[in-house]
Structure 1
Amino acid sequence: MPRAGVDELTAFVRDSTGASLRGVYRYHAEGYEVQYVRPDLRREGVDAEIARAIDHLRNESRAREQRAFPYDGFNGTVRSFEEAVVLHFPLRQERGVVVALDTDVARQLDGFMRECVERL
């Protein structure tokens, strides 16, 4: 994804979610770039945590992962955690963008998922 596309996505997400945006990260086969991190989340050790998560997500940008499901047009994944919702937009050749948001942005989805988990 060209840098201009990531800039446009970051601006859109910031405008849409305000202070709920936690971070935006762009990755490629060799590493990743921090596009945005909310200032209150910057702390020692966060870079290693981000790198570990991106290494995990990078696998979803491979063609075999996209072919693993019987649906066309793989758009991305959503992961729900107690503290955050993570959107992953995998692109081609081990490239992609990761957006982390506070859970209030995905209140309905997060609430629905919690209700499901409570029943397990």
Structure 2
Amino acid sequence: MTRERVEELAEFLHETTGEYLRGVGHYDAEEYEVLYVRPDLQRETLGEEIDKMVAHLRNESRAREQRAFPFGDLDGTVRSFDEAIVMHFPLPQEQGAVVTLDTDVARQLNDFMRSCIERL
């Protein structure tokens, strides 16, 4: 994965989600790079938070994690939180891209998930 490809993704996301885009980054087995963080979300603790997220997400890029489900290659995961949606696109060789969005982008999915949670 090249930085240029992730920059293309970030541009696409800016065009399609506008102000709902929170952040875009990519990583490999050694390091990560944040290409975009919405200005209102920048704070001192952000680096520590990103370190933790990337450490966790790297596991999904490992082959054994992808073999845990019998549905073929893992294309990506979507995590829904109260304040954000996290999309992770794991790639070969412990690489990947991470996108965070405001929850309004996935309003239908969030509403559906809340309906399911209410029944639990």
TM range (shorter): over 0.9
One-letter amino acid matched to 2:101: L
User: Which residue of the partner structure matches residue 3 of structure 1?
Assistant: 3
Give 1:29-68 correspondences, 5 Å limit.
29-68=29-68
CA distance in 2, matches of 1:3, 1:27: 10
CA distance in 1, matches of 2:68, 2:13: 29
CA-CA distance at 1:53 after TM superposition:
0.7
For the aligned residues, what is the CA RMSD? 0.7
CA-CA distance at 1:73 after TM superposition:
3.1
Contiguous gaps of at least 5 residues in structure 1: none
CA distance in 2, matches of 1:26, 1:66: 19
One-letter amino acid matched to 2:80: S
Identity %: 64
Cα deviations across residues 1-58 of structure 1 (Å, max 9, x unaligned)? 1111101100011111000000001111112101100000001111100110110011
One-letter amino acid matched to 2:78: V
One-letter amino acid matched to 2:110: D
User: Which residue of the partner structure matches residue 95 of structure 1?
Assistant: 95
Contiguous gaps of at least 5 residues in structure 2: none
CA distance in 1, matches of 2:117, 2:35: 33
CA-CA distance at 1:67 after TM superposition:
1.0
Dislocated runs of 4+, deviation >3 Å: none
Count of aligned pairs between the two proteins: 120
CA distance in 1, matches of 2:117, 2:14: 30
One-letter amino acid matched to 1:28: D
Question: Which SS does the other structure have where 1:43 is aligned?
Answer: coil
Is it true that 1:107 corresponds to 2:110 in the alignment?
no
CA distance in 1, matches of 2:93, 2:55: 14
TM-score normalised to structure 2 length: 0.97
